[in-house]
Amino acid sequence: MIRLEHLDKRFGDRSVLRDVSLDVPRGEFGILFGPSGVGKTLLLSILAGLEVPTAGRVLLNGCDMARVPPERRPVTMVFQRHALFPHLTVFENVAFSLRARGLHGPAVKRRVNELLELTGLETFAELKPDVLSGGQCQRVAFVRALASDAEVILFDEPLNSLDAHLKTALMLELKRLHQAKQFTALYVTHSVKEAVELGDRVYMLEDGTVSRTCRPGELPVHGEKA
Amino acid sequence: MNRLFKALCVIVTVLLSLFVAVALCNVFVGAPAELVHALRDPALRQVVEVSLLTSLIAAGLAMLLGTPVAYVLARRRFFGKAAVETLLDLPVALPPMVAGLALLVLVSPTSPFGHVLNGMGVHLIFTQAGIVLAQLFVALPFYIRAVRSAITAIPPSIPAAAALLRATEAYTFFHVILPLSREGIISGFVMCWTRALGEFGATAMVAGCIPGVTETLPIAIYTRATAGDLAFAGAAALCLALVSFATLIGLRLAFSDGEERRRA
């Protein structure tokens, strides 16, 4: 599970996050909801260990992450622009985390093929990211995150640059993957539709703090199309 | 006005190209028979061998030492970083003779460092090892600059993604950073090598000019030309020019594919 306790982040005199506390229970799909520029991505970076909080604690599965570097946290992230390794094929991108942990040979092949089949990406295995569409890249990024076996997956507006049709398809896919793998998720978005479709619980971030926690159905609808 | 500007640009380009071509042709086609004879001279072969050997070792060492330095400068923030960068860049701005004098003083047996080196049996003055040292000192910043730019150009989300996929910093360096900096590493190596190959001032100060031992192509061009042996100097110059030309063509061919892909 994810627990943030009284988290602050300041850059010089500028306070970006103030007294942020939240709990995402194990296996739940949490939505971090709020307008652009309120510090949603920064909060994910702190959770991932890419940024250090000025004050407060990050606990993952009950363990304080203060001195734990990103590669040793039980967490991975799907970035807004997928951040696939451009020099590696789809297969090698998915296998990256397995190889980084010292796995080699048939075990890697079996696991990667299983994940690629789960998402219908097996025909793209030998292609490099530069020939894939935006939607395909993001699907590879989902699978790559699953291959890391992280208990917590952070999503930084992963569907932002995609068209409405593709968004709907990928939301369904993500929902299916979450049901199949039961990971704990924290998903950053400013889209009500995404929050309602995917989330179990919504944390509204306003003015650098969590102003409200609610069920997705309680979110105000502003006539959003996609 | 626009026509005049366009015409002026074309005229300047043509004149400059002609100037370079005429200047180079004057060296190489002065007396073709003597030039061909000089090209077959075993002494020239020795000079070419010394130059290629020392410059390739210097560029190899630059690659070995410069890559981690470029990585640190590109990816880390630390106190005094600007000072370190300036210091490492200094040999580019420093006149080669000054660089040579600094190295000569540093490794001479009368200096503490030179004394230690002598005690270990390492002799750098008037030796090929001295040439490598001088070339490395002068050419290393070119390699570091190229590789540093290549590493800086990698989006920060890429190494962050690697870390969040359980890769240690060392694993990320070898499996992500190095492959993605390939173009910078190759062009840095080539720039460093060609700079080392053409190095004159610092090399002459540290290694002198012992025929067959420390005589490199630029030193041979200078010593033979001042001694009146223009055919040998011309042949040595031709060798250097051919290497530079081949290098430029090679680099263009090697990277044209990548450029095409980026444009697409």
Cβ partners under 8 Å of residue A79, min gap 6: A141, A156, A158, B157, B160, B161
**Do residues B232 and B171 make contact, with C-beta atoms less than 8 angstroms apart?**
no
Q: Could you tell me the pTM of the whole model? A: 0.84
CA-nearest residue of chain B to A79? B157
pLDDT at res. B30: 60
CA-nearest residue of chain A to B262? A130
pLDDT digits (tens, 9 = 90+) for B110-161: 888 888 988 888 888 899 999 999 999 999 999 999 999 999 999 999 999 9
Hey, are the CB atoms on B261 and A76 less than 8 Å from each other? no
Three-state SS sequence of chain B: CHHHHHHHHHHHHHHHHHHHHHHHHHHHCCCHHHHHHHHCCHHHHHHHHHHHHHHHHHHHHHHHHHHHHHHHHHHCCCCCHHHHHHHHHHHHHCCHHHHHHHHHHHHCCCCHHHHHHHHCCCCCCCCHHHHHHHHHHHHHHHHHHHHHHHHHCCCCHHHHHHHCCCCCHHHHHHHHHHHHCHHHHHHHHHHHHHHHHCCCHHHHHHHCCCCCCCCCHHHHHHHHHHCCCHHHHHHHHHHHHHHHHHHHHHHHHHHHHHHHHHHC
What's the complex ipTM? 0.90
Size of interface A-B (CB pairs under 8 A): 69
Query: H or E stretch including A166?
Result: helix A164-181
The residues pairing with B102 across neighbouring beta strands, listed in sequence order, are none
The Cα–Cα gap between B225 and B217 comes to 12
Write out chain A residues lying below 8 Å of B180, CB-based.
85-87
Looking at chain A, how many residues does it have? 226
Cβ partners under 8 Å of residue B235, min gap 6: B35, B38, B39, B41, B44
- Residue among B155, B167, B180 minimizing CB distance to A100: B167
CA-nearest residue of chain B to A143? B165
Write out chain A residues lying below 8 Å of B179, CB-based.
87
Q: What is the pLDDT along chain A (226 residues), one digit of tens a residue?
A: 899 999 999 998 899 999 999 999 999 999 999 888 889 999 999 999 999 999 999 999 889 998 899 999 999 999 988 899 999 999 999 999 999 999 999 999 999 999 999 888 989 999 999 999 888 999 999 999 999 999 999 999 998 878 888 888 889 888 988 988 889 999 999 889 899 999 999 999 988 899 989 998 888 765 454 4
- The interface residues of chain A toward chain B in range 52-81, judged by CB-CB distance below 8 A, are 69-73, 75-77, 79, 81
Write out chain A residues lying below 8 Å of B259, CB-based.
none
**Do residues A198 and A31 make contact, with C-beta atoms less than 8 angstroms apart?**
yes
| CB proximity A108 to B under 8 Å | no
DSSP designation for A159: T
Which of A82, A97, A112, A142 best probes binding to B when mutated, by most B CB atoms within 10 angstroms? A97
Backbone dihedral angles phi then psi of residue A167, each to the nearest 5 degrees: -60, -45
Q: Are strands A152-156 and A14-24 parallel, antiparallel or unpaired?
A: unpaired
Long-range contacts of B84-89 (CB under 8 A, 24+ apart): B88/B140, B88/B141, B88/B144, B89/B141, B89/B145
Confidence at B209, pLDDT banded by 50, 70, 90? confident
Q: Which two tokens stand for residue B90?
A: 């200094």
Write out chain B residues lying below 8 Å of A73, CB-based.
164
Hey, are the CB atoms on A71 and B163 less than 8 Å from each other? yes
CA-nearest residue of chain A to B165? A97
Hey, are the CB atoms on A71 and B166 less than 8 Å from each other? yes
CA-nearest residue of chain A to B176? A85
Q: Which of A22, A34, A4 is nearest to A189 (CA)?
A: A34
**Do residues A176 and A142 make contact, with C-beta atoms less than 8 angstroms apart?**
no
Which of A46, A50, A115, A140 best probes binding to B when mutated, by most B CB atoms within 10 angstroms? A50
Alpha carbon of B81: minimum distance to chain A alpha carbons (Å): 21
Q: Which of A88, A164, A75 is nearest to A124 (CA)?
A: A88
pLDDT at res. A87: 96
Write out chain A residues lying below 8 Å of B182, CB-based.
87
pLDDT at res. A226: 42
**Do residues A214 and A24 make contact, with C-beta atoms less than 8 angstroms apart?**
no
Q: Which two tokens stand for residue B200?
A: 């004159």
| CB proximity A144 to B under 8 Å | yes
The Cα–Cα gap between B92 and B97 comes to 12
Give exposure, A165-190, as e/b (b: 16+ Cβ within 10 Å). ebbbebbebbeebbeeeebbbbbbbb
In whole angstroms, what separates CA B64 from the centre of its chain? 14
CA-nearest residue of chain A to B164? A76
pLDDT at res. B9: 93
The Cα–Cα gap between B127 and B104 comes to 12
Arithmetic mean of pLDDT over chain B:
89
Q: Which SS3 state, helix, strand or coil, does residue A202 take?
A: strand
- The mean-pLDDT minimum among A68-77, B18-27, B205-214 falls in B18-27
